[in-house]
Amino acid sequence: MYVQLLDLACGALLLTAVLVLWRRELTVIIRMFALQGAALAVLVGVLAAQENSAELWAVAVGVFALRAVVLPYLLRRALAGAGESRRETRPLVNVSASLLAAAVLTLLAYAVSQPLVELAPSAATQAIPVGITVVLIGFFVLVTRRRALSQLVGFLLMDNGITAVGFLATTGVGLVVELGVSLDVLLAVLVLQVLTTRMRETFGDTDLDELRELRD
């Protein structure tokens, strides 16, 4: 039961990451991100139930609050201010190619995480490649998307992946560390949101390629 729930949570983590890559509408992307936050919270919750640790339960609730509620809310607000540019129309790498790239990244993640898994094979550590895949897909989104907002989602995807790897590898990095990281992420999102708003005011657009003009 524990293994199955864990696997399902990991599957959901993976699937939402793929859907972020697949879909073009920013609202859908944000919804997928919120779902991923929920899946991550479930993952932590499953681990908490297994370890029977109140601290982990608290972390699970915190993760849910931050990643499934607060961050999506902030993103949605930024999107509402963004006006008409609600679609990631022309990513630098087209969608089919990025999906195939994600396939390669998955296999890469599996290959690099094997030594890590072999240190202590268990149901949790065997799912580490999933976390690393999410990190890589997040990085890929960050690199190839034009809209500041979808890049932001890419960054948050990376962070979700890192958190997942942390929990899967060590069964919890401690409440304090998690709290610190969460605050960091929140701060980063706020800063980036301000940046996005300023960009739109300056250029009337949030296409990051416009930043090139600053150099000239």
Least separation, in Å, of the C-beta of 153 and other proteins?
A: 18
10 binds other proteins (CB under 8 A): yes
Indicate whether 135 belongs to the interface with other proteins (CB under 8 A): no
> Does residue 63 interact with other proteins by CB under 8 A?
no
58: contact with other proteins by CB under 8 A: no
The residue within the footprint of other proteins, chosen from 127, 149, 153, 192 (CB under 8 A), is: 127
- Using alpha carbons, select from 25, 36, 26 the residue that is nearest to residue 157: 36
Measured between its terminal Cα atoms, the distance across the chain in Å is 59
- The yes or no reply on residue 99 touching other proteins (CB under 8 A) is yes
Q: How many residues bind other proteins (CB under 8 A)?
A: 28
Using CB under 8 A as the binding rule, whether residue 122 contacts other proteins is answered as: no
Asked if 17 contacts 133 with a C-beta cutoff of 8 angstroms, the reply is: yes
**CB 159, CB 185: distance < 8 Å:** yes
Rank residues 31 and 82 by Cβ distance to other proteins and give the closer one.
31
The β-bridge partners of 153 are none
Cα 39 to Cα 7: distance, rounded to the nearest angstrom: 11
| Nearest in space to 17 (alpha carbons), one of 80, 89, 98 | 98
Quick one: which H or E segment has residue 55? Answer: helix 54-63
* Site residues, other proteins (CB under 8 A): 4, 6-8, 10-11, 14-15, 18, 22, 94-97, 99-100, 102-103, 106-107, 110-111, 114, 123, 126-127, 129-130
